[in-house]
Amino acid sequence: MKAKLASSLLFVLLATTAWGQTITEMQRDTALGMLNQIALDVKKHYYDPSFHGLDWDSKVLETKQKVEKADSYGRALAEIESLLESLKDSHTFLLPPQPVGYHFDYGWRSQPIGDVCYVTHVRPGGDAGAKGLRAGDQLLAIDGFATNRTNFSEVEYFFSTLSPQRALRLGLRDNGGKERTIEVATHIAENGEFIKGVTHSLGGPDPFDRARRREALRQEVNPRIVEISDDLMILKLPVFFLSDAKIDAIVNKARRHKSLIVDLRENGGGAVEVLQQLVGRMFVNRVKIGDRVGRDGRSPIDGKAQGNRFEGRVIVLVDSRSASTSELFARVVQIEKRGSVIGDVTAGKVMESKFYPYLPHAGAIATYGLYVTEADIVMTDGKRLEHTGVMPDEIVLPTAADLARGDDPVLARAAALAGVQLTPGGAGKLLPYEWSLL
């Protein structure tokens, strides 16, 4: 899921990055056209027509005036994102023009674990590893900006979505407490320039580019299953996008085991319909997930089952990247006392949104998109998960040393709850990290 950056930090970042300090009239017209279309769709579709008490029309006018005075294209986009940020909503955000015909990868992954940000994975053979970046390094800063649990997803949104960079300067602290700074080059695939003006697209014009993206997506969304014994099956679910046939196959396989670990770590969410099917398959009786609250009123979201159910023990794994429908699944398991939730506090990004793709404006060859929240979700205990997240029944966090060794104490602890003994090292080998295709 996405993350947003507070406008003050966003502007500082833009001032120091690759967007440049000039803006053409075509770029300004493009930004104004984007603003007009975005403002209209938010006004038409946003779930709360009062905009939480915000004077939306006045905010739009104020943003228009700022865009007209912006000294760079990046600053103009920052003003639009700042407008959306004023809603303080995790699921309403801008997907700016994306580069045509190229793919970039920083070659490392990181996330908050507890209150500290760590490097969790480093791509083999890349510049990051050559420069000495290691899993388990504490990530203190990116390009001079301190990272913490509160702002991490916002900084990540900036560098991964708003303004990708050719290289990033990382402030690090190793497991021994020694601090250092390194600069890591970005891997940029062929077929196009990195960033230049607004020559961007949401897709990619050539068939090879589209095929590569499809294969990368298939790899990233495909569930992984490990059958340990009759006592335990582990389901690693990267995202809530599954066909009914796939769900049926997973549940039928799980039914051969006494316990099921559903690993939702790094799962950013997905389709509500898939959530309903998975919840429905975990309970003997029909279970209510929560209420969808939108412009058209309040309506229940119930679990739905179209096949066999799994009746054994359920253990859910979550972390700081577990968001949206993965948070809803974990919380339902808690509320209904169906099983245990193990790991870290989740992201607290739980709304329902719809994506609106847009065509270019003012002769630019850029397409872009907007996510608009169309419903809030209220759980059966009357509480919302937005900005709060799910507190696990048992907090289990990997240490820097665990990350460096590739150990997985969270999965090992979950297996122990199911009566299966795994060492953290053995657990780490069961579901090794899979790098997406470039």
Q: What domains are defined for the chain?
A: 7-88 (no CATH), 104-188 (2.30.42.10), 218-350+380-430 (3.90.226.10)
Say if residue 410's pLDDT is above 90.
Answer: yes
- Spell out a b/e string for 392-426, using b for 16 or more CB atoms within 10 Å of the CB, else e: bbeebbbbbebbbebbbbbbbbbbebbebebebee
Separation of alpha carbons 134 and 122, rounded Å: 6
Give the model's pLDDT for residue 210. Answer: 45
Averaged pLDDT for residues 106-128: 96
What mean pLDDT, rounded, does the chain reach?
87
Q: Which are the contacts of 130, defined by CB distance < 8 A and separation ≥ 6?
A: none
Give the model's pLDDT for residue 4. Answer: 39
Give the model's pLDDT for residue 204. Answer: 40
Q: Which residue has the tokens 């510049």?
A: 127
Phi and psi angles of residue 130, each rounded to the nearest 5 degrees, phi first: -65, -30
pLDDT band at 201 (very low <50, low <70, confident <90, very high): very low
Q: Are 332 and 279 in contact (CB under 8 A)?
A: yes
Say if residue 68's pLDDT is above 90.
Answer: yes
- When comparing pLDDT for 307 and 9, which is higher? 307
- When comparing pLDDT for 135 and 362, which is higher? 135
Averaged pLDDT for residues 404-424: 97
Q: Give the pair of three-digit tokens for residue 263.
A: 């690993």
Separation of alpha carbons 283 and 304, rounded Å: 10
Give the model's pLDDT for residue 163. Answer: 76
pTM: 0.89
Averaged pLDDT for residues 78-90: 92
Q: Are 194 and 104 in contact (CB under 8 A)?
A: yes
